[in-house]
Amino acid sequence: MSLFAWNCRGLGTSLAVRTLTDAVKEKDSLLVFLSETKAGVSRIKGIQNKINFTQGIVVSSDGRSRGLALLWREGTEVTFKSYSHSHIDVVVREESATTPWRATGFCGHPDVGKRLLLWQLLETLRDHCSPSWVVFGDFNEITHQDEKIGWMKRDVNQMKGFKECLSRCCLFDLGFVGQHFTWCNGRLGDHRTLLRLDHVVANASWSELFQEARVHHCSMSSSDHCLLVLILKNGQPKKLGRKRFLFKAMWVREPGCREVVEGAWDLYRGDADYKITSRLKNCQVSLQSWNWRVFGNVNQILKKKQDRLQQLENLSKLHENAEEIQGLRKEINEMLVKEIMCSQRSRALWIKWGDRNTKFFHATASQRRQRNRIGSIQNASEEWQENQEVVEGIILRVF
């Protein structure tokens, strides 16, 4: 069980949505906090449906900047407390825990002159919090000079204000596993800068409640901020089930796909034992073999590149491997943009991952579900059968 915090730098692109979707699917998440969404309520609602976190609090963006969202799955017991353009505050009650705890997603202001007000806001939240409290997000500030490398040194007074605020709130840093710095300006040469702007802090009561808690810094190719993953408890490893075969939308763009299907289907074979189920199975085997020859394992290649990126960023070097990191980010993003494997339902009209949550989309999807469903069928006596078990039996016998 975990908690996500990510400055996504905008959710207006299919790349950002895809990156978020992959991250959420990979880990068992309780809460997902997003900052700098640069999106309104309707856009976030569409993304919530994609990641199956249908409940939450959304703070709309201010034009094309800012914007927050704290999301959770239906059935999670979360009580809303307060929000602003810089925070969302809730109380969480878990089924397995008797003690509720407070979770606050926080986003520091990019304007240094306004950060003092945010530290005062954090202290106000302290006065109204439950005993167990955790705060996470992009604070836009560091606590020590060793949390920055490159360009000019950080102003001491800036750091002092942040540290004193954390001290007054009785919040301490939970540490991390992974790369030391959570943000990079993406430049090469003398102006390249790395900082640890994103933090997870908690009070002693919360740490006592979650003694196994640990924070992971995870590289995200679509943003200049890494993802914070707060592991609350060590869960049981999931058993890997048998992977379901899916026809990949990208296959139809390859000229050889039609020939593979026609050859596997063997239209002119007429013996009674070669039913539609046998043809489908033959198509599956032939397409999988052809896919390996033509495309290789796209997901495996992508995973290797992502692992290499994480490995390089874990080194926390300023100039060493900077060009390789930039190149890997570009390659990963290009692969994600080109890859339309997971756009099965979207068809031609919804080929983008970041499609909008429109009535037309839902109407089209619902209509397709109805069209693909066999509600009744005639048997050999030309009698209509509606019982699903009978319908399945007739299909298997005939086809």
Count of domains forming the chain: 3
Domain stops at, among 202, 231, 260: 231
Beta strands across the sheet bearing 101-107: 77-83, 87-93, 101-107, 133-138, 198-202, 172-173
Round to whole Å and give the CA distance between 360 and 127: 47
Using CB atoms within 10 A of its CB, is residue 252 exposed (0-12), middle (13-18) or buried (19+)? exposed
**Same domain membership, residue 384 and residue 303:** no
**Same domain membership, residue 109 and residue 122:** yes
Q: H or E segment at 306? A: helix 298-314
**Same domain membership, residue 362 and residue 337:** no
Round to whole Å and give the CA distance between 118 and 129: 16
Domain stops at, among 168, 196, 231: 231
**Same domain membership, residue 166 and residue 77:** yes
Sign of the CA dihedral running 9, 11, 14, 19: positive
The single-letter DSSP state of residue 45 is H
Short-list 394, 289, 357, CA closest to 58: 357
Start-to-end C-alpha separation, the chain: 45
Q: Does residue 244 lie in a domain region?
A: no
Q: Does residue 123 lie in a domain region?
A: yes
**Same domain membership, residue 307 and residue 168:** no
**Same domain membership, residue 156 and residue 63:** yes
Give me the chain's average pLDDT, please: 84
**Same domain membership, residue 367 and residue 341:** no
Phi, psi of 174 (to 5 degrees): -85, 0
**Same domain membership, residue 314 and residue 344:** yes
DSSP string, 201-229: EE-HHHHHH-TT-EEEEE--TTSSBPEEE
Round to whole Å and give the CA distance between 175 and 14: 32
The CATH number of whichever domain residue 225 belongs to comes to 3.60.10.10
C-beta separation of 369 from 345 below 8 A: no
Q: Does residue 398 lie in a domain region?
A: yes
Give CA angle at 168 (87, 166), nearest 5°: 55
> Which residue stretches of the chain have pLDDT < 50?
340-356, 360
3-state secondary structure (DSSP) of residue 158? helix
Q: Does residue 239 lie in a domain region?
A: no
**Same domain membership, residue 55 and residue 8:** yes
In SS3 terms, 249-274 reads as HHHHHCCHHHHHHHHHHCCCCCCCCC
Q: Is the pTM of this model over 0.85?
A: no
Q: Does residue 221 lie in a domain region?
A: yes
Kindly provide the residue ranges of all beta strands, DSSP E only, lying in the chain, ordered along the sequence: 2-7, 29-35, 55-59, 68-72, 77-83, 87-93, 101-107, 133-138, 148-149, 172-173, 177-178, 183-184, 194-195, 198-202, 214-218, 227-231, 377-378, 384-385
3-state secondary structure (DSSP) of residue 182? coil
| Domain extent at residue 376 | 358-399
**Same domain membership, residue 256 and residue 156:** no
Q: Does residue 240 lie in a domain region?
A: no
3-state secondary structure (DSSP) of residue 378? strand
Q: What is the pLDDT of residue 368?
A: 55
Q: What is the pLDDT of residue 377?
A: 79
Tokens representing 363 are 């109407």
Round to whole Å and give the CA distance between 342 and 18: 9
**Same domain membership, residue 346 and residue 260:** yes
Helix count and strand count (H, E) for the chain: 11, 18
**Same domain membership, residue 175 and residue 31:** yes
Q: Does residue 241 lie in a domain region?
A: no
